[in-house]
Amino acid sequence: MHEWMARKLSLRLRVFLFFAFVAFGGLAAVLLGLWLGYRRVAEAGVESGFVFAGLVACCGILGLVVWVWFLFDENVAKAIQKLAGGMRARAHADIAEELDHAPARYLGDLAPAAQAITGSLTETKNALAEAVERETTRLAIDNARLQALLGDVPAGVLLCTSDHQIVFYNGQAQEVLSGEVDAGLDRSLLDYLRAGPLQNAYARLVASEDSDAAGDILCAGMVSGEVLAGRMRLVHLPQRSADDPGYVLTLRDVTTDLELHAGREELLEEVFERVRRPAANLQTVLDSGAAEDGNGRAALLGEVGVLTHAITDLGARYDAARGGWWPMEEIRASELVDSVVALTAREGIILTAEAEKLMLRCDAFQIVALLTHLCERLSNVIRATALSLRISAEEDGGALVTIGWFGDVLQVGLLDGWMDVQLEVGLSNVTGRTVLASHATEVWPESGAIGRALLRLPLRQAIPTDRAPAVARRSAIYDFDLMDREPTGALAETPLRELTCVVFDTETTGLLPSSGDEIVQIAALRLLGGKRIPGEEFETLVNPERPIPASATEVHHVTNEMVAGAPTIAVIGRQFHKFAHDAVLVAHNAPFDLEFLRRHEGDIGKRFDHPVLDTVLLSAVVFGQSETHTLDALTERLGIVIPPEARHTAMGDTIATAAALEMMIPMLEGQGYRTFGEVIGAVRKHSRLLKDANSPDKVPG
């Protein structure tokens, strides 16, 4: 009947008919009442007749109005709200699906019209998106280049705001800065470095007349106390006021350098200290002429003994530290050997080479130049044939480089002469001898087996490749928008786009923390203004210290065996608390997840008193309370696809929640909620739906 009317009649006519229906229905109720009342007059009197007529008329009118109201609410008011929600979602986020117009089927042309406008909006958006995409791709390529360059700079490079928040860092910077957590975007540099030198240098530069001035600083790490040498330069960007410019800081760990220098200084001082006194004493004894008698002789011998001992001891210490100052790098023995083969091949020398799996610590460029030089001389001067090169491990932890050939043993005198020739390494005054000296080593000839002659050159430090240290992460992470951000003020005034959020999700043994259910897995992501920060993720299993029911394992696939070796919530909770430091916690149904954590605040030793956003409540603000707000429904509405295998894994749900948050931020802004405070205000209106986790006192313990 409805369907037929909706199809055949126009919306205006239908609304007119409804009102006509109400009018005639009302009249009919009154007439019916009057007729029934008139019939009662004969039996029960005039008074009762009137009352009865009134009652029947009132009930009839009331029933009619309620029925019509119900139809209007169901098919007009609710439908308009749904349609408006859908349109708003499409206005502020990219949703590819067509507007669902089933609920608004009785609203005439409204639904098709809305569909048309959202459709054309989508088209416009797509065209715009394509243009933006092209431009973005170009920028992304530029950025990738910049990132690759800065990621490979051997110094740590950081860009910070005036209040020392990190906006950019490269992998080296993360290596150099050690703290409770790895350095990351929007963390304060003062958590990693002592504040004094940084603030002094910054103040000096700000006060300086020269806007391009750079200041050198020496600062110490907060945790391990390593010494870092740095250079700070202010960055004057056009969009920032000149009063509080950000700065670029390049950092280098000079702890080792300083220790080396200090060690040398100390050794030198000790040399003078320990040689001066016996030398002076010797002179005095000799001058006095007392040396002739027995006592004087004993005195002389005593002083000489002291001197001898001092020199032997100091010499040994000097030798141990020799070569330490020269910049050395780690290189695979095989690469070094390959370079020599390639270089000698250019001279027409055929060299067979092999190397054991070793990392050598040396100035590879110099060593390669020296070995090439030696091969070339051997071939051209003494007509050596069948040249071979081999690098092998030595028992003392060093490596031995051996050049072999068929021919005469090399004369040491000839070798010494070769060692005085300048090598082509791009530095002046580099000879074989200086290369040997900076590596604290020697080279010598030996005779080998089966008519072969050898040259030996030991290198002091070598590491088997399977124990080689990990290469520093080559990356650069940044969010330059942070530069434009006003210095952090009260959280309530912080725009949504500038919030640092940690989105998280937990998997548990069950739904009732109060009955002893516990967390088995936590995953979290850090977001800045809704955008994920690369590399800033947290995912770990937790030992719940109780069996996981099979029904729970069926949902999240975390088994008892998987968590057996995992740390407990006391440990993980502390790590998670550090990860979420200074951020707004975001979860889908946050009070549920938070209650599992808050129950263990005692063991963890930290309070989870972070500000909280709940995507259930945000969904209610954006889409209206009458919608369903499960994570599946929300992500479906927003066109976010969770792969089925990721659903109900902590990280899968966290990624989905983060994506939903990212899409809802512009929608909230579209509704006029721009700051955290405004959003929390809007959320409170929906707190009937759920507890607001920002009032932890109300959470039952």
Partner 1 sequence: MTGSETGVDRPARILIVEDEDNIALALSHVLGREGWAVKRVVDGEAGLDAVRTERPDLLLLDVMLPGMSGYEVCQAVRLEPELAEVKILMMTARGNAMERRKGLALGADGFIAKPFDLSDLLDQARALLAGPAEASNA
CB of 308 to partner 1, least distance (A): 4
Phi-psi group of 557: left, alpha or beta (phi > 0 → left; psi -120 to 50 → alpha; rest → beta): left
The residue among 256 and 312 lying less far from partner 1, judged by its C-beta, is: 312
How far from each other are the two terminal CA atoms of the chain, in whole angstroms? 55
Q: What is the closest distance, in whole angstroms, from the C-beta atom of residue 278 to partner 1 in the complex?
A: 12
State in angstroms the smallest separation of the CB of 411 from partner 1. Answer: 7
**What's the min distance (Å) between Cβ of 472 and partner 1?**
32
CB of 297 to partner 1, least distance (A): 14
Closer CB to partner 1, 316 or 564, in the complex: 316
CB closer to partner 1, 208 vs 411 = 411
Give the closest residue to 458 by CA, choosing from 397, 538, 545, 535: 397
Q: Which is nearer to partner 1, 87 or 414 (CB)?
A: 414
Nearer to partner 1, 352 or 447 (CB): 447
Answer whether 512's CB lies under 8 Å from 475's CB.
no
Distances in Å between the alpha carbon of 361 and those of 264, 419, 543, 566?
A: 21, 21, 43, 38
Report the nearest approach of partner 1 to the CB of residue 368 (Å).
Answer: 20
The string of DSSP codes covering 230-272 is EEEEEE--TTS-TTS-EEEEEEEE-HHHHHHHHHHHHHHHHHH
Nearer to partner 1, 111 or 453 (CB): 453
Output the CA torsion sign for 576, 582, 586, 590: positive
| Contact criterion met (CB below 8 Å) for 192 and 219 | no
Q: Which of 249, 165, 95, 195 is nearest to 498 (CA)?
A: 165
d(CA 644, CA 642): 6
Q: Nearest approach, Cβ of 451 to partner 1 (angstroms)?
A: 15
Give the C-alpha distances (Å, rounded to integers) separating 279 from 276, 282, 383: 5, 5, 52
Least separation in angstroms between CB 460 and partner 1: 9
Quote the tokens at residue 474: 């080559």
Smaller CB separation from partner 1, 254 or 306? 306
Cβ closer to partner 1: 185 or 440? 440
Q: Which residue number, 30 or 328, has a Cβ lying nearer to partner 1?
A: 328
**Among residues 87 and 311, whose Cβ is nearest to partner 1?**
311
Residue count of the chain: 701
β partners of residue 219? 228
Picking from 557, 555, 558, 577, the residue whose alpha carbon sits closest to that of residue 566 is 558
Of the candidates 174, 236, 231, the residue with the CA atom closest to the CA atom of residue 198:
231
Q: Tell the smallest beta-carbon distance from residue 418 to partner 1 (Å).
A: 13
CB 397 within 8 A of CB 366: no
Of the two residues 341 and 457, which places its CB atom closer to partner 1 in the complex? 457
Q: Which letter does DSSP use for residue 75 in this model?
A: I
Least distance from partner 1 to the Cβ atom of residue 318, Å? 8
Q: Considering the complex, state which of residue 117 and residue 393 has its C-beta at the smaller distance from partner 1.
A: 393
Smallest separation (angstroms) from partner 1 to the CB of 437 = 11
Q: How do 519-528 and 500-508 pair as beta strands?
A: antiparallel
Q: How far is the CB of 298 from partner 1 (least distance, A)?
A: 15
Q: Which residue has the tokens 């290189």?
A: 331
Helices (H) and strands (E) in the chain, counts: 23, 19
Compute the least distance from the CB of residue 291 to partner 1, in Å. 15
Neighbouring residues of 162: CB distance < 8 A, sequence distance ≥ 6: 202, 244, 245, 246, 247, 487
C-beta of 464: minimal distance to partner 1 in Å? 22
Please give the single-letter amino acid code of residue 164: H
Transcribe 197-216 into DSSP letters.
HHHHHHHHHHH-S-TT-EEE
**Which of left, alpha, beta for 127 (phi over 0: left; psi -120 to 50: alpha)?**
alpha
Give dist(CA 130, CA 122) in Å, integer: 12
C-alpha 421/C-alpha 428 separation (Å) is 11
Query: Which is it for the CA torsion 434, 435, 436, 438, positive or negative?
Result: positive
Q: Nearest distance from residue 247's CB to partner 1, in Å?
A: 47
Rounded to whole angstroms, the Cα distance separating 407 from 414 reads 15
Cβ closest to partner 1, residue 441 vs residue 657: 441
CA dihedral 609, 612, 617, 621 (to 10 degrees): 130
In the complex, what is the shortest distance from the CB of residue 419 to partner 1, in angstroms, rounded to a whole number? Answer: 11
Residues 6+ apart with CB under 8 A from 469: 330
Closer Cβ to partner 1, 409 or 562, answer by number: 409
* Main-chain dihedrals φ then ψ at residue 544, nearest 5 degrees: -80, -5
> DSSP class of residue 191?
G
Q: Which is nearer to partner 1, 216 or 396 (CB)?
A: 396
Residues that bind partner 1 (CB under 8 A): 307-308, 311-312, 315-316, 319, 322, 409, 411-413, 416, 440-446, 456, 458
Nearer to partner 1, 308 or 559 (CB): 308
